[in-house]
Amino acid sequence: MASFKTNPVFYSVLLVIGVVAVGEGWLIFERSQAAAKSQALVEQKQQELASLQATKPFPSDASKAAVEADLRRTQAALATMREELKGRGPTAQQLRSAKVPSEPTDSFFDLASFVEKTRVKAKQAGVQIKPDERFGFASYASAGPDRDLIPQVFRQRQIAEYLLDALFAAHPRELVSLQRERPLTNAQVAAADAGKPMPAAPALAPAGKDADADLFEIDPRISARVPGFVRATAFRLTFLGETESLRVLLNKLAAFELPLVVRSVEVEPAAASSGTGKTSSSSSSSSGADANSLSAIFGGIPAGSSTATTTEPAKPKPLVAKVLSKFTVTVELIDLVSATSTEATPTS
């Protein structure tokens, strides 16, 4: 204590140096502990890296070659599918090379010419049509479509002409109607490809009472369209005829000259759907008991008649009589969405 009193400055400096030395020692110890932990973590990460490198998660050269070959096959199949969905033969070529009208007036005259030519074709084929039949385009009986709708309507007219030509070649008894979907604007097509709600449709041109009857909406459950991948335009043909007419029409569509796919076929008796009564058989004037008798069904001697008074036998009736039916055929024109118009999200 006496020394401290005689040399207070010296001993105070020694005390401070001691405290600093203790603090530095503690700091060195703490840093050494942290360094040891870091070293252990580095060694653990190195072991994990060595383990991952040993498993070789990256594909080998053979695997990469197999993936590339599969990709080339898929791209070739997609290109083939796109080419087939353009149709084949002169019909598809003519459809692709046709000049689209540029003005509503041009489109109006194109539709008017189509209606007149199709009426002549129906008469030549012996197919009955309504006197004011517009073949699905009554909306444009007095004016052409809006400029934004011209490409859509023109394409619908082309497909309608192909369908009607195929139907007339099948020789049905009567064309009841041809219906089409409401044409879409460019904004609506873009929204449909993106899977978004479509903007409101523009009003159709003023037309007669049958304008709304020209349009229909296909049941989404049977439609082939997939937003962003597949577009489709639906048509519905309704006609009266024998089963042979339906068979000829379906065989024509199966030739796939155009990418038309049959989505549904509905059949009902023609007598129940039309009031013409043309489908009733000549035996309908007989009584109920006579109509159900074996002789009435299979031909021969009429029931209740005497063989003595019969001068000549009745002509036998065929087991399967030719009857008219009402057929409703719904088809879709398929078109793949181009890769540049939409981006598909890859699935994992």
**What's residue 344's pLDDT?**
42
Query: How far, in Å, CA of 106 to CA of 289, rounded?
Result: 63
CA distances from 286 to 279, 295, 306, 312 (A): 16, 12, 17, 20
Instruction: DSSP for 133-199, please give it.
Output: --TT-GGGSSSPPPGGGHHHHHHHHHHHHHHHHHHHHT--SEEEEEEEPPP--HHHHHHHHTTPPPP
| Mean pLDDT to the nearest integer, 323-345 | 75
* Count, residues in the chain: 348
Q: What is the pTM of this model?
A: 0.63
pLDDT at 275: 43
Q: Per-residue pLDDT averaged across 215-227, rounded? A: 87
Judged by average pLDDT, the poorest of 78-82, 175-179, 323-327 is 78-82
- Checking if the pLDDT of 320 tops 80, the result is no
Task: Give the amino acid at 239.
Answer: F
Give the pLDDT mean for 236-244.
94
- CA-atom Rg of the chain in angstroms: 41
pLDDT, greater one: 135 or 229: 135
CA distances from 288 to 80, 201, 284, 296 (A): 61, 55, 9, 10
Lowest mean pLDDT, pick from 58-72, 233-247, 259-273, 307-321: 307-321
Amino acid at 325: S
User: What pLDDT is recorded for position 197?
Assistant: 63
Each residue's pLDDT tens digit, 6-63: 777 776 777 778 777 777 777 777 777 788 888 888 888 888 887 777 776 566 778 8
Is the torsion defined by CA of 20, 22, 23, 24 positive or negative? Answer: positive
Q: How confident is the model at residue 155 (pLDDT cuts 50, 70, 90)?
A: very high
Q: Is residue 209 packed enough to be buried (19+ CB in 10 Å), middle (13-18) or exposed (0-12)?
A: exposed
Helix (H) / strand (E) element for 234: namely strand 230-241
pLDDT in tens, 289-308: 444 443 443 444 444 444 44
> According to the per-residue pLDDT averaged within each range, which of 191-195, 247-251, 286-290 is highest?
247-251
Query: Which run of H or of E encompasses 28?
Result: helix 8-55
Looking at every residue in the chain, the average pLDDT score rounds to 77
Residue 321 pLDDT greater than 70, yes or no: no
Confidence check: pLDDT of 3 > 60: yes
How many other CB atoms sit within 10 Å of the CB of residue 77?
10
pLDDT digits (tens, 9 = 90+) for 101-149: 999 999 999 999 999 999 999 999 999 999 999 999 999 999 999 988 9
- Distance (Å) of CA 84 to CA 66, 224, 259: 27, 16, 8
The percentage of residues in the chain with a pLDDT greater than 70, rounded to a whole number, is 72
Residue 314 binned pLDDT confidence (cut-offs 50, 70, 90)? low
How many whole angstroms separate alpha carbon 270 and alpha carbon 278? 9
